[in-house]
Amino acid sequence: MRITPTHAVVLTAATVLLSAAISVPAAGVTPAHPAHRAAGDTVTTSLRAAVDELPVADEDRTGYLRTAFRHWIDADHDGCDTRREVILDEAVQAPEVGPRCSLTGGQWYSPYDAVTVTDATGLDVDHMVPLAEAWDSGAAEWTAGERQAYANDLDEPRALIAVTAKSNRSKADKDPADWLPTNTGYRCTYLADWTAIKTRWHLSVDPREKDTLQRLTAACPDEPITVQIAR
């Protein structure tokens, strides 16, 4: 089951000041430098530093198939697949759950476009970093198991998000250089979450994507980001 619905990690000002004053990282937290990162490590850095550290490489979609990422599995065998787990977790008002995890009623808020949804069939569950974008950025070299884990990542609340079908289909497989949420008040969170997922899965960015992230996050609060490294 997906446990934490929060889509951003925010530390208090006191915590930030204390962290800046202490040179030794807390137990279980690795330094921010990418060379020190390994699967399972927890990394805390700032938004702009995280963007700067993303590796740059040209994208290559050769051989991409959506089916290369097996998704919407029922990992805990409770009858609800990954898609429905996300929809249930992000409900503002919980729906009724029927046979085979059918959902009736409920209410959701789509942050991409600031729209309230009252029917789960009007929702898509979006991969924050789309599957095709992940393939372009390094996942082509992964094992089938790693791609399945990426496509069903319930351990990272920022990885999957329930939004209106319209907004998700507008985004498609575009990166922030080509698409941003119409809800301007959400854009800094979106950029931070995009960066967090690229960091978590050690995915690269193309030069235009990197330039866009650096330019746009310069106008965002340089808040801390905490990420557990997946690979």
pLDDT confidence of residue 35: 56
Q: Which one-letter DSSP state was computed for residue 121?
A: G
- Sort residue 56 into left (φ over 0), alpha (ψ -120 to 50) or beta: beta
pTM given for the model? 0.85
Q: Each residue of 55-83: pLDDT tens digit?
A: 999 999 999 999 999 999 999 999 999 99
Beta strands in the chain (DSSP E): 29-30, 42-46, 96-97, 103-104, 108-110, 115-117, 123-127, 160-164, 224-228
For 89-116, write each residue's pLDDT tens digit: 999 999 999 999 999 999 999 999 999 9
| pLDDT at 37 (0 to 100) | 81
